[in-house]
């Protein structure tokens, strides 16, 4: 497997992208299920199942929550653009480009040996 020598600014942007995505996902878990105020509901029980789908009433997002979501989305767009349009990609051809992009996504993953240490 070919190992690519990614520039440090590209590695940093990819790491920031992963971290921001993770932070946003954690933040999103704290938000109401609907951005707009919406009444809850309870679905019918399906035949041959004990599962019953339902949602409580949603108060919608507060102004602060809307601003925070917008800030996360803007930062994710900025970092994604920085990674995708980095000049490093112009140095690669064809299948190398795809392999390199996939490798960059995992360049910060710890190996099992590193994690055990």
Could you report the per-residue pLDDT of 49-98, keeping only the tens digit for each? 888 889 999 999 999 999 999 999 999 999 999 999 999 999 998 778 99
Residue 15 belongs to some domain of the structure: yes
Residue 41 belongs to some domain of the structure: no
Residue 81 belongs to some domain of the structure: yes
Residue 48 belongs to some domain of the structure: no
Residue 116 belongs to some domain of the structure: no
Domain count, the chain: 1
CA–CA distance from 26 to each of 1, 20, 21, 36, 99 (Å)?
A: 34, 10, 9, 20, 29
Confidence at residue 56, expressed as pLDDT on a 0 to 100 scale: 94
DSSP state of 38: B
Range of the domain at 78: 8-35+62-109
Q: What is the CB neighbour count within 10 angstroms for residue 79?
A: 20
pLDDT at 117 over 70: no
Confidence at residue 20, expressed as pLDDT on a 0 to 100 scale: 98
pLDDT at 111 over 60: no
């Amino acid at each position: 497997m070919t190992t690519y020598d990614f520039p440090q600014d590209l590695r940093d942007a990819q790491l920031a992208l992963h971290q921001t995505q993770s932070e946003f996902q954690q933040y999103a878990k704290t938000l109401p299920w609907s951005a707009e105020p919406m009444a809850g509901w309870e679905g019918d029980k399906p035949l041959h199942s004990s599962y019953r789908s339902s949602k409580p009433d949603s108060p919608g997002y507060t102004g602060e929550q809307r601003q925070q979501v917008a800030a996360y989305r803007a930062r994710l767009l900025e970092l994604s653009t920085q990674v995708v349009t980095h000049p490093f990609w112009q140095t690669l051809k064809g299948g190398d480009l795809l392999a390199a992009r996939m490798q960059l996504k995992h360049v910060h993953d710890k190996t099992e040996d590193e994690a055990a240490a």
